[in-house]
Amino acid sequence: MARMAGTAARAEALLGVGVVSTTPVAGGDICTVTRLRLTDGRGAVIKTRPQAPERFFTREAESLRWLAEADGVRIPQVLADADDCLILEWIEPTRPTPEAAEQFGRALADTHRAGAPQFGAPTDGYIGLAPLPNRPMPTWPEFYASRRVMPYVRAAVDRGALTPSQAKIIDSCMQRIPDLAGPSEPPARLHGDLWSGNVVWGSDSQVWLIDPAAHGGHRETDLALLALFGVPHLQRAMEAYDEHTPLSDGWRERVGLHQLHPLLVHAVLFGGSYGERAAAAARSALDA
């Protein structure tokens, strides 16, 4: 009760309106997530974490605002952000439908097509609690190898989540990435952490995205992450995306290449079989 009261008081101070009620939201592994009902009739959600890493919430707020500017897939409005919390509008969830998935595919293509000024982002960020280096590079293969793969290979080896032989396979893949990356494309505006847990099926029949690690990258990366952990009606969404904004030839053969980063992040954070799966994804990319 004391924690909920403190959360409500913090929200009131940032929003300038009263909080009528607070309700815990399940599924917040990294942050404590609380639903708020405000005196002005709005619903909101506040994310908190004691001793959050530097700029943890402000970087997320910047990512959400940048994605929203694309006028593509729906993004919750940022109501307030601070060093210790982030407050967003509440999205009422509902059951996934094929029709919403089709709309999502087209909207995600529009977000990607809005583009980015470079491969990377102006500031570093986070993916989960892992640091996410974003310093721009001239091409996507350079950015992906230098900022998305090799830093996590080293960290995974240090943590014993990746063997030296597995790391060698991934390094070989990165040595050949200019040949494996497919046709050159301009930087796309990416969500960057697009797994099913960050996809909210709203009661307004729209799909909403939360918890981004936004940056300029290759659009196939977002799509490969959707496929990695699965999302309802994925095939319908992918078909709608490809019809709306056709993907380059051979994109299916490059899925393993684009799944390397999230698998390595999971290896660093959780260990288990993720290191082995990352090495297998590198082998699939080399054999494609």
List the structure tokens of 113.
Answer: 């097509």
Residue 147 in contact with residue 135, Cβ under 8 Å? yes
Q: Output the pLDDT for position 2.
A: 45
Q: What is the CATH number of domain 2-89?
A: 3.30.200.20
Q: Output the pLDDT for position 30.
A: 86
Question: Per residue, what are the HEC states of the chain?
Answer: CHHHHHHHHHHHHHHCCCEEEEEECCCCCCCEEEEEEECCCCEEEEEECCCCCCCHHHHHHHHHHHHHCCCCCECCCEEEEECCEEEEECCCECCCCHHHHHHHHHHHHHHHHCCCCCEECCCCEEECCEEECCCCECCHHHHHHHHHHHHHHHHHHHCCCCCHHHHHHHHHHHHCHHHHCCCCCCCEEECCCCCHHHEEEECCCCEEECCCCCEEECHHHHHHHHHHHCCCCHHHHHHHHHHHCCCCCCHHHHHHHHHHHHHHHHHHHHCCCHHHHHHHHHHHHHHC
Please tell me the distance from the alpha carbon of residue 110 to that of residue 49, in angstroms, as a whole number. Answer: 33
- Tell me the pTM: 0.94
Domain with CATH 3.90.1200.10 in the chain: 98-287
By CB neighbour count within 10 A (0-12 exposed, 13-18 middle, 19+ buried), where does 28 fall?
middle
Domain with CATH 3.30.200.20 in the chain: 2-89
Q: What is the CATH number of domain 98-287?
A: 3.90.1200.10
For the chain, 288 residues long, give each residue's pLDDT as a single digit of tens: 546 668 999 999 999 999 999 999 987 678 999 999 999 999 999 999 988 999 999 999 999 999 999 999 999 999 999 999 999 999 999 999 999 999 999 999 999 999 999 999 999 999 988 999 999 999 999 999 999 999 999 999 999 999 999 999 999 999 999 999 999 999 999 999 999 999 999 999 999 999 999 999 999 999 999 999 899 999 999 999 999 999 999 999 999 999 999 999 999 999 999 999 999 999 999 997
